Every structure is written in C-alpha cells, then in structure tokens.
Amino acid sequence: MAATKYVFVTGGVTSSLGKGIIAASLAKLLQARGYKTTIQKLDPYINVDPGTLNPYEHGECYVTDDGAETDLDLGHYERFLNVKTSQANNVTTGRIYQSVIEKERRGEFLGKTVQVIPHITNEIKERIQLLGNTGEYDIVITEIGGTVGDIESLPYIESVRQLLWELGDNNAIVVHLTLVPFLSAAGELKTKPTQHSVKTLMESGIQADILVCRTEHELSDEIKEKLALFCNVKREAVIQSIDASTIYDVPVMMHEEGLDTVALRKLALPDDTPPDLTQWNEFLDRHKHPKSEVTVGLIGKYVELQDSYKSILESFTHAGAINEVKVNVRSIHSEYITHANFEQKMKGLDGILVAPGFGERGIEGKIKAVRYARENGIPFLGICLGMQMAVIEFGRNVLGLQGANSTEMDENTPHPVISLMEEQKNIKDKGGTMRLGAWACDLKKGSLVQKVYHGATHISERHRHRYEFNNAYKEQYEKAGLVASGINSDTQLVEIIELPDHPWFIGVQYHPEYRSTVANPHPLFVGFVKAVQLHKKQQTNASLA
C-alpha cells in the first residue's frame, strides 16, 4: 500500500472561520472519490481534554466510542464522513505535555534537557502520524486549532514544518483558511489581512499550498489573481468559501470551487474519478424542501450559545430531512421557567426535549417542562440529565415521593431516585471519571423504544455522566407505569425509561446525538420527530373539527 498522505489545515486572521467544516468538507469529497480518509484535531489549549471545559468556553464536549472526551469538531467529522473517530483524533497541548513529562519522569530521555524542540515537537509529530501509521487511511487531514501567530500554536506549526520536510514533496500539503473582509465604508473586499496571515505562516517556514478564503461577497477574478500573486500560490489554489445557508452545502460548494481537485493534484494522487455525492445531495434536497414544519422546545441551561447543543441541533437536521419536515428548535432557558410562566413558555410546542447538563442550576424548570409534556400528551425526549429529570418528576408527582431528587443536586434527599454508582462515591478528581464511551443496552421486547430501533434487541450507545437511576426504586416505578425498557445487562443499570400509556415519552441515560450522521440519522431522533409531526397533525385536525 502507498504511504499515507497528509493535509494540514491552518487558520489565520480570526478564529471561528470554520476550519472544522472546511476540513470535514474536503474529507467528504476525498471519501466520495474513493479515498479512505480521516480527520484529527490538534487543540493548543493546556486542558488535558475538553471534558472539564464549560460549554460556554468551547461549545459542547463530544464523546467517541472509546470514551474520549473531545472537541466538538469531531462531531462534524463523524456527521460528514459517517466514520467513527477515537482518542487518536483529538490531541490537546495538555495531553502532549503530560505525556512528555511522564516519559521524563520514567527516565526515557536518558538525563537529557527536555525542551520544546525536539521533545514536544517529536511527541506532536508522533501523534499526527498515529492514524496514518495504522495503514487504514490513504489521507489524514489534520486541523490545527487556533490562529497562526498565536503563541500556543507555535509548537504545532513547527511540527508541521518539520513533517512537510521529512515527508517530502507531494506527500503533505497545507490548506490555509483565512478571512477576506468587506469594508462597507469603502465598499470593497480587502486582501491585506490574508497577505499578512500567509506572511506570518511563512515566517514559521511554511508556505501555504491552498488558500481557502472566507468571505461574505463573491471574490472577483481580479482579487483571486492578486491573492495568488502576493501569497505565492497558484491561481486555481485560491478557493472562495462564501457564507452558506447550511454547513451541509459546503462540500458541494468546495467541489465547485475545485478544492478536492487541487488537493489531489498537489498530493500527486489520481483525480479522474468524480466524487459520488448522490446520497449527500438527496439529503440536501429533502433538508431544503420540507413538506411541513414543527416546533420543538429544547429545554437546557446553556441555550445562549448554539454550540453547547451542537450535536442535538444537527440530529434534528438529519431526522427532519428523512421525515421531510422542518424542525424549528425553540431554545428555552430552564433557569427562567417558573410556576407562573411555564404554560406560557410551553405554548405552541409540538414536542419537548430536555437536554443534558451538569449541576443543580435550572433543574426545577426542567422538571416543570417534563411534567407539562407528560400531563399534556406532548411527545417527549429526555437525554441524560433530561432522563433523570423525568425520573424525579414522576417520583414526586405520580409516586408521591416528596423531595425526590438526585444526590447530585441534594445530598440529603429523602428519596435519592438518582444516585451515584458505588464505585463513583469516593472520587475527588472530576476529569475523566464518568461513565464514558459506548456501553451496551438490552431493549425490552414489545417496548416503544424497541420499535424505534427497528426491532433490535441489543444496542450500543455513548455515555457521559456520573449519576444513575437508583434500582432500589425500580419496582415502585414500574408498578406505577414508568417502564425501564433498556438495561445494561452487565451492571443492571437502567439506560432507558418510557411511559407506555403516553403517545411518545422516552428518556435515555446516554447521548444519541453523538451517533447521528447525514448517512444514518439516529433512530431516536427520527422516531421523536415523526411523533412530533403526528401530534401536530392531530392537534390541527382537532381544532378544525
């Protein structure tokens, strides 16, 4: 097999230009041409992983099958490529330094002075080539987080420079994503920031091979010529990336601009097979031409930042397209749901999703939302903390367990219906101590959830939580009509609850949103959206009758 080729994606001028989407789009196009492709993200911050980061800091924390808590860009990679990622796909500076320091403590450097070059850069290069060395991939795309010129990105940029030199011509290229701003006062696009960004990259010894220019206005041929000349790249390697109505348009737009063709030529790989985007375009067509629309309330406490629930919002896009319906998500901050206003806030919702989260802030609002959904027959999906809130709500309002709660919120609750697993009770360090990654679950025969999973009896889903349903209360709950319809057979932990006498009421302890992709929308979201559609139709018919 030929050696793996590498594509490095760097960013300049400003952050948040969408390196992850560009990397995922290029990977999608290369995959659609028959190349086995994967993507990894190198993050320059010193946290060991994003697991302990507040969602407001960095958006949601994405979890892989092998239990790695990673950057949300890995979610884009999986959604676009429909290929699972792992611990090897996300590396932080914290992890790099931790590894080097551990090696130094073990005496692996034979008493040498440990320095950024070569020790840190060697560790980075090793991590970059981990996936390539497996022999499973033709092309590895590596996205370097942050902005060129940042002090914390320097070791990564230096590692890339060394690798470009070591791997030789046509084996590795650099795609530089930059901003071409529009000055409304002057009425023109400006190329100077891009020129400076490319120059900064060159000062580190790296010449960009391809420029991807983020812009709000079409780039004229004149501007592309100017960028090519001053940034020392070929004219066809100046790629325009104009604002798109949906991130799923980007692969198609990048193909029209020739990004994949230029990349393959620079890597000396055949580019004569056009990408097969049939399924992708069918999805886009359904997404853009829905036959109806519904409104779902997303009840959470990080709703001000869209990226906090990125995977959930994208899962609605996938499930909406397959059901040919537009899902309008109305974000409702659970902290501001009160006894006086909750009916007003729930008005006009066709379905209710109570989102995951940690800590006690805003949980009473979530409990009120669950009760509203349960008592009014509104389709309900509770994810992780959302499922636990459904358990607490049912305990308090149906079983009459006064003060029922999770020990996460109230250590002295008289009814700890949600509690810690025994082995979790003595943990002090919060990082990486949760039930993480893929866990198996057996589905109850004849249950709603088994129907949702197309008759499957055994599933595997990704987790990220610490607290569990307390089995001491299971019998009491089931007698009253709340069924534990999914159980982990090894631990006997409850994974799924449902209410059979409700139109559609399911709570899951895991995160289905991590598994939803364009090619395989998650069955739970597909089923939920279908139930929401039906509920709306019935309400409309009832009001007309």
Is residue 76 part of the annotated active site? The answer reads no
For the chain, the residue count is 545
Q: Considering 415, 513, 522, 535, which one is annotated as catalytic? A: 513
Does 414 score more than 80 pLDDT? yes
What CA–CA distance (Å, rounded) separates 111 from 5?
35
What residue ranges do the domains of the chain occupy?
Answer: 5-281, 291-544
Q: Which two tokens stand for residue 163?
A: 């690798």
Strands (E) in 36-171, as ranges, are 37-43, 62-63, 69-70, 90-92, 139-144
What CA–CA distance (Å, rounded) separates 24 from 259?
12
Q: Please check whether residue 206 is in contact with residue 171, taking contact to mean a CB–CB distance below 8 angstroms.
A: no
Does 383 score more than 50 pLDDT? yes
Which pLDDT belongs to residue 55? 58
CB within 8 A of 14, min separation 6: which ones?
A: 147, 179
Does 201 score more than 60 pLDDT? yes
Helix (H) or strand (E) holding 220: none
What CA–CA distance (Å, rounded) separates 258 from 256?
5
Cβ count within 10 A of residue 402: 10
Which pLDDT belongs to residue 57? 61
Q: 531 or 427: which carries more pLDDT confidence?
A: 531
- Strands of the 467-469 sheet, one edge to the other: 405-406, 416-420, 467-469
Helix (H) or strand (E) holding 407: none
- 210: pLDDT confidence band, cut at 50, 70 and 90? very high
What CA–CA distance (Å, rounded) separates 374 from 372?
6
Amino acid at 345: K
Does 432 score more than 50 pLDDT? no
In the annotated binding site, the residues are: 15-21, 56, 73, 143, 150-152, 190-195, 226, 244, 357, 385-388, 408, 466
Q: Which two tokens stand for residue 252?
A: 């198609």
pLDDT tens per residue, range 152-198: 899 999 999 999 999 999 999 999 999 998 888 888 888 899 999 99
At residue 186's C-alpha, the angle toward residues 185 and 192, to 5°, is 120
- 476: pLDDT confidence band, cut at 50, 70 and 90? very high
What CA–CA distance (Å, rounded) separates 407 from 419?
5
Is residue 256 part of the annotated active site? The answer reads no
Q: Quote the mean pLDDT of the chain.
A: 89
In the annotated binding site for ATP, the residues are: 16-21, 73, 244
Helix (H) or strand (E) holding 165: helix 154-167
* Unique residue bearing structure tokens 């009160």: 338
Does 411 score more than 80 pLDDT? yes
Which pLDDT belongs to residue 182? 87
Which pLDDT belongs to residue 363? 79
Taking residues 302-315, what's their average pLDDT?
80
Taking residues 529-541, what's their average pLDDT?
92
Region 5-281: CATH code: 3.40.50.300
* Unique residue bearing structure tokens 């393959």: 264
Q: Please check whether residue 205 is in contact with residue 121, taking contact to mean a CB–CB distance below 8 angstroms.
A: no
Q: How far is CA 183 from the centre of its chain?
A: 33
CB within 8 A of 427, min separation 6: which ones?
A: 433
> DSSP 3-state assignment of 217?
coil
Does 431 score more than 50 pLDDT? no
Which pLDDT belongs to residue 364? 87
What CA–CA distance (Å, rounded) separates 100 from 427?
26
Which pLDDT belongs to residue 381? 96
Q: Please check whether residue 24 is in contact with residue 181, taking contact to mean a CB–CB distance below 8 angstroms.
A: no
Q: Do domains 5-281 and 291-544 have the same CATH topology?
A: yes
Cα distances from 354 to residues 309, 341, 390, 402, 491, in angstroms, run 11, 17, 9, 22, 26
* Alpha helical stretches, state H, 235-291: 250-257, 259-266, 278-288
Q: Which two tokens stand for residue 255?
A: 């193909």
What percentage of the chain exceeds 90 in pLDDT? 59
Does 356 score more than 80 pLDDT? yes
What percentage of the chain exceeds 70 in pLDDT? 95
Given phi > 0 = left and psi -120 to 50 = alpha, else beta, which region is 5? beta
pLDDT tens per residue, range 242-275: 988 899 999 999 999 999 999 999 999 999 999 9
> DSSP 3-state assignment of 229?
helix
Does 421 score more than 70 pLDDT? no
Q: Please check whether residue 27 is in contact with residue 76, taking contact to mean a CB–CB distance below 8 angstroms.
A: no
Q: Considering 176, 287, 511, 522, which one is annotated as catalytic? A: 511
Is residue 393 part of the annotated active site? The answer reads no
Q: Please check whether residue 382 is in contact with residue 392, taking contact to mean a CB–CB distance below 8 angstroms.
A: no
CATH architecture of 291-544: 3-Layer(aba) Sandwich (3.40)
* Alpha helical stretches, state H, 323-384: 342-346, 363-375
Amino acid at 388: Q
* CA dihedral sign, ordered 531, 533, 536, 537: negative
Q: If we measure between CA atoms, which residue out of 238, 264, 237, 242 comes closest to residue 253?
A: 242
Q: Considering 61, 384, 468, 498, which one is annotated as catalytic? A: 384
Taking residues 488-509, what's their average pLDDT?
92
Q: What is the DSSP code (8-state) at residue 180?
A: -
- 56: pLDDT confidence band, cut at 50, 70 and 90? low
In the annotated binding site for CTP, the residues are: 15, 150-152, 190-195, 226
What CA–CA distance (Å, rounded) separates 464 from 52?
12
> DSSP 3-state assignment of 418?
strand
Taking residues 418-430, what's their average pLDDT?
61
* Whole-structure pTM value: 0.89
In the annotated binding site for UTP, the residues are: 15, 190-195, 226
Q: If we measure between CA atoms, which residue out of 283, 280, 296 comes closest to residue 529?
A: 296
* Alpha helical stretches, state H, 72-111: 73-81, 93-105
Strands (E) in 35-162, as ranges, are 37-43, 62-63, 69-70, 90-92, 139-144
Q: If we measure between CA atoms, which residue out of 233, 231, 191 comes closest to residue 214?
A: 191
Pairing label, strands 188-189, 292-300? unpaired
Q: Which two tokens stand for residue 172?
A: 């590795």
